[in-house]
Structure 1
Amino acid sequence: MTKRRSSRALWAVSLSLTVAGCLEADEATLRNPAEAVGETRQAAVTQGIRDKVIVGYQGWFTAYGDGSPTERWSHWSAGVYRSNEGVPAPGHQTFDLYPDISEYAPGSLFQTGYAPLGNGAPAKLFSSYPSDVVNKHFQWMQQYGIDGAAVQRFLTTDGVFMAHRDSVASKVRTAAEATGRLFYIMYDVSGLSDATFLQMVKDDWTNQIVGQLHLPSSSRYATQDGKPVVSIWGLGFTDRPGSAAQASELVDWFRGQGAYVIGGVPTNWRTSSGDSKPGFTDVYKKFHMISPWTVGRYSTDADVDNFKNNYLLPDLAYCNTNGQAYQPVMFPGFAWYNWNGGAKNLIPRRAGALLWKQATNIRAAGISAAYIAMFDEYDEGTAIAKAAEDSSMAPTNQYFLTLSSDGTYLSSDFYLRLSGKVTRLIQGLDAPTSAVPIAPSNGPVWFRTGGEETDAALTWTNTIDPTGGGSQGVTGYGGTGGVDFRAVSGEQAHSGSRALRITGRDTQAGGASFSYFKAYDVHIPVHASTRLSFWTYPQNSLSRHVTVDLVMTDGSTLRDSGATDLNGVSMHPGADRGTVNAWTQTKSQIGQWLAGKTIDRILITYDYSPLTGDFRGFIDDIEVSD
């Protein structure tokens, strides 16, 4: 895969899966944001980047009405200058992963043309232009233990575009200084011409970055060996501008300015093959630090290990021999279905397993620095910043990737929490583990699913739980086959188009008739405030006994705990629940009976003895929260 951007400074990527970036709030507010449960704030990061984990920061999203010089929508969609034309709407978007918008100030959110989110909230999107948005992003970096950011710098003769980039860069400086994060400029030569890129980069550094914005004079601007850090991405790529002579001149020029220069180079830089132009070997040797692009180069754990053996370790040895530092690139996953087509969830994140595997390989190689692509890249679905957890946090009339699209419910801050652990692992502060070392959620929502394609998926389908209840006296609907449990689409749904369904026939009047199906494998701590909620739709009287049950790690169950719902109705499936041919919500403060225990499995069940006959019941929108 090759990192690409068009002349509009949009990202694009050519995929190959075989081998297979003036403070308005006062400083006191910036330094004391509300913290996530279980997270702590990181002290100011020391200078030097050879032992730091850096994230790529785009800061490029705009919206019409945000006050930015661009005066249009960009990166969420292709907007029209000084117009709301091109507002993001179904079929008109250039991003794949929907952000979590719940923590942004109302004035930084802008109405789209999408239907409301699954939770009923208006479908809005943030702009990167307001100071409070940049502040929020750097607060997250501090809160979750991320060292700093490489600020993406694209160049163009469009003065409006450059004015926006200058403003965001200045706001990054202020936010970095307030939160103790490091930052540095990362030039991307994409979209520039052979004839102009060399002078444009030199002029921008001299006149804007140093002369006008004074960024390197910031106490938080990254330095190494007393030199201000600058990264240049794209030199040597087969589809990027610049001859070897031009590239060499640019690197030499920055070194002459006293800079520490990082090279964002092709994957095959060391062999000058594949995505690398030939004849660039001497150019690559001029960089103080080498950072080869890896996004899209692998997907499975086997791919990651192959990459380690064929690229990571040989690259590191080469750098050590030539006295260069090494900054490998990691990414959490990739998708651009809404923008460039291809499969949905093209490179799955695997609930953090892909990012963690890369990190463990980097740690095993003894490398103490890394670059995570990217912090806010919602366009190609590589963002680690807070994102929609599931269908409840995305528009109902347009597909968007969510963090639960891999089938496991994840909180919106999951990849921020994991990136903090990645940082500690690579820096040798935590011991490596084979499994992802964090919980899917730290609350207050511990689990939620509506069964949609971007929600947590069933762990088991049509599988009786022998230790959780088993099955007796029940056969298939209509008297043929066996009782059946599965997710279905297009029959009944409380929200979206999917729900869970049990169908069967109770054959034992007056005897024990029940079927307990395993549905979701979880590990959820129960507190005094923990509540279970779900919706049921019974199609006849017997179906009022289709419901949700819980099995705890100690073997106890919700049904036998004595728990009731908020109306005083027993949570045992033998109690009548809901209204025939209507959706009814059940809520139970289960913490009153189960506090101190841990939920091990969520079951979907039928259990009733007095009558016989067919039953068909639906369940939707299950949630466990505090």
Structure 2
Amino acid sequence: MKKIHFAIMCFLMLSVAVNAQNKHSKVTKYPSYHGLVMAGYQGWFRAEGDGTNSGFSHYFANETHCGVDAWPDVSEYKNTYNTPFKLADGSSAKLFSSYDKSTVDLHFKWMQEYGVDGVFMQRFIGYTKSPRARRETGVVIKNALDAASKYGRAIAIMYDLSGLNASGEDCSAIISDWKYLVDSLKVTNQAGAKTYLNNNNKPIVAIWGLGFPDRPYNIRNIGILKLIDFLKNDPIYGGCAVMLGVPTFWRDLNADSQNDPFLHEVIKQADIVLPWTVQRFSPLLHNDMDRYRDLMIGDMQWCKTNHLDYVPCVYPGFSWHNLSTYEFPDDVKPVASIPRQGGRFYWQQISTALQAGAQMLYVAMFDEVNEGTAIFKVTDKPPVSNNAKFIDMDGKPGDQYLWLTGEAAKMLRNEKPLSYTLPVRSN
């Protein structure tokens, strides 16, 4: 009789544990990352008058200290804000605020229109430690969840460890923040259509910034294995698939990667590997796509051996002139140091990744105008300034990269034959 009672008690305890996992929706439009093209979404741009009292945060400090190298095309935004910058005709150049619900709605509308599958919402470690930052960025995430549901786009959270200190600070703030996002914002169980991105039917949580030698923290001392264990195994908030953002040369532990085999131990505890390749490849280097292809093939084999999924990173180009001018005056970067070439460089990476066997893609980034990597609509007629310089669109329409990203998604899913040359619009 005691054995029967013990068995019943174990069954009840197991039932409670299983039911406790109901924090995440059991259904989603996106049960797998396979076949999708996702982009990173900063959502950190503010404007004077948007209600945040943050000025033009992440755009510029003033007209002489500009922080963006690409100027957004704001012709379709409901709310825009005058800036000190002037257009060629003398009128005030305007910008949007990511804090506005209408801004986020428009971005997700573009994703639907052009066939961009969705975005990873960037969440910096500093947001998890500041109540004000958590609330303010929570507004952006809530608006993004609503828009993702409205337009049927995939959405997921990516934690960026940038800002983690070297003085014994660990990742524990992410654990409490993930609980906040799940409980208060319902990120994995949003109202309306459920579109949180899963992989193997598990909600994806990305952690970016492991193994980079320029970071002040030691990955052995930040509690990363405890964090991964929580995200994967916690009975209430776990059951997640973990994606790790690592250096390009993570596999060989050289070049842009820390030479520490512990990084491999950490990666083997995850589910998806995302190597960060921004600035690592360039159209200005002879046969650089051959090097990119060979790198991916080797990475994919390593991941297959260790039962991991692999997602290549692609980006349209890179420019970091304005921000570097006043942050690093001894190392000022040229404008368009990695040129876009009207989309040719972007497409070289995409076609090379698909040829190598990629089953999913990560685009850096959707709205990153700071480093000139944005794929959303950028103007070919930026402000005229004596202090700042901006990239243009090489004569291409402002939606060139949104359109190319949608074409990439079709070819990834074999809805269209893979083109090794830059696609051309028929209209």
1:61 and 2:41 equivalent?
A: no
Q: Tell me how far apart the structure 2 counterparts of residues 266 and 50 of structure 1 sit (CA, whole Å).
A: 22
1:238 deviates by: 1.9
Structure-2 residue corresponding to 1:76: 59
SS of equivalent residue, structure 1 residue 217 = coil
Contact 2:111 2:153 in 1 (8 A): yes
Contact 2:32 2:197 in 1 (8 A): yes
Structure-1 residue corresponding to 2:399: 413
Structure-1 residue corresponding to 2:220: 244
Percent identity of the aligned residues? 36
The C-alpha deviation readout for 1:433-487, integer Å capped at 9, x for no partner, is: 2321124x95xxxxxxxxxxxxxxxxxxxxxxxxxxxxxxxxxxxxxxxxxxxxx
Structure-2 residue corresponding to 1:50: 34
Structure-1 residue corresponding to 2:344: 353
1:308 deviates by: 1.5
Q: Tell me how far apart the structure 1 counterparts of residues 89 and 420 of structure 2 sit (CA, whole Å).
A: 36
Structure-2 residue corresponding to 1:269: 250
Q: Tell me how far apart the structure 1 counterparts of residues 226 and 253 of structure 2 sit (CA, whole Å).
A: 19
Structure-2 residue corresponding to 1:344: 335
Root-mean-square deviation (CA, aligned residues, Å) is 1.9
1:258 and 2:244 equivalent?
A: no
Q: Tell me how far apart the structure 1 counterparts of residues 369 and 409 of structure 2 sit (CA, whole Å).
A: 21
Structure-2 residue corresponding to 1:549: none
1:322 deviates by: 1.2
1:159-170 residue pairs with structure 2 within 5 A?
159-170=131-142
Q: Tell me how far apart the structure 2 counterparts of residues 360 and 146 of structure 1 sit (CA, whole Å).
A: 16
Which of 360, 367, 392 aligns to 1:403? It is 392
Contact 1:98 1:401 in 2 (8 A): yes
The C-alpha deviation readout for 1:205-253, integer Å capped at 9, x for no partner, is: 11x2112211111211111222111000012222333433622222222
- Which 5+ residue runs of structure 1 have no aligned equivalent? 1-43, 79-85, 443-626
1:77 deviates by: 1.2
Contact 1:262 1:291 in 2 (8 A): yes
1:198-213 residue pairs with structure 2 within 5 A?
198-206=171-179, 208-213=180-185
Please identify which structure carries the higher strand content. Answer: 1
Q: Tell me how far apart the structure 1 counterparts of residues 250 and 322 of structure 2 sit (CA, whole Å).
A: 31
- Report which of the two structures shows the higher radius of gyration computed on alpha carbons: 1
Please identify which structure carries the higher helix content. Answer: 2
Which of 291, 300, 306 aligns to 1:306? It is 291
Contact 2:71 2:379 in 1 (8 A): yes
Structure-2 residue corresponding to 1:222: 197
Q: Tell me how far apart the structure 2 counterparts of residues 50 and 144 of structure 1 sit (CA, whole Å).
A: 19
1:91-106 residue pairs with structure 2 within 5 A?
91-105=64-78
1:92-241 residue pairs with structure 2 within 5 A?
92-105=65-78, 108-115=79-86, 117-118=87-88, 121-156=91-126, 157-194=129-166, 195-206=168-179, 208-218=180-190, 219-240=194-215, 241=217
The C-alpha deviation readout for 1:69-95, integer Å capped at 9, x for no partner, is: x532200013xxxxxxx4xx2x22111
Contact 1:173 1:183 in 2 (8 A): yes
Letter aligned with residue 206 of structure 2: S
The C-alpha deviation readout for 1:100-141, integer Å capped at 9, x for no partner, is: 011111xx21111112x2355421111111000000000000
SS of equivalent residue, structure 1 residue 228 = strand
Structure-2 residue corresponding to 1:329: 313
1:375 and 2:366 equivalent?
A: yes
Q: Tell me how far apart the structure 1 counterparts of residues 318 and 58 of structure 2 sit (CA, whole Å).
A: 16
Q: Tell me how far apart the structure 2 counterparts of residues 274 and 188 of structure 1 sit (CA, whole Å).
A: 21
Structure-2 residue corresponding to 1:497: none
Letter aligned with residue 97 of structure 2: S
Letter aligned with residue 212 of structure 1: S
1:271 deviates by: 1.7
Structure with the bigger RCO (C-alpha within 8 Å, sep 6+) is 2
Contact 1:235 1:247 in 2 (8 A): no
1:63 deviates by: 1.2
Structure-1 residue corresponding to 2:267: 284
Contact 2:211 2:257 in 1 (8 A): yes
SS of equivalent residue, structure 2 residue 288 = helix
1:263 deviates by: 0.7
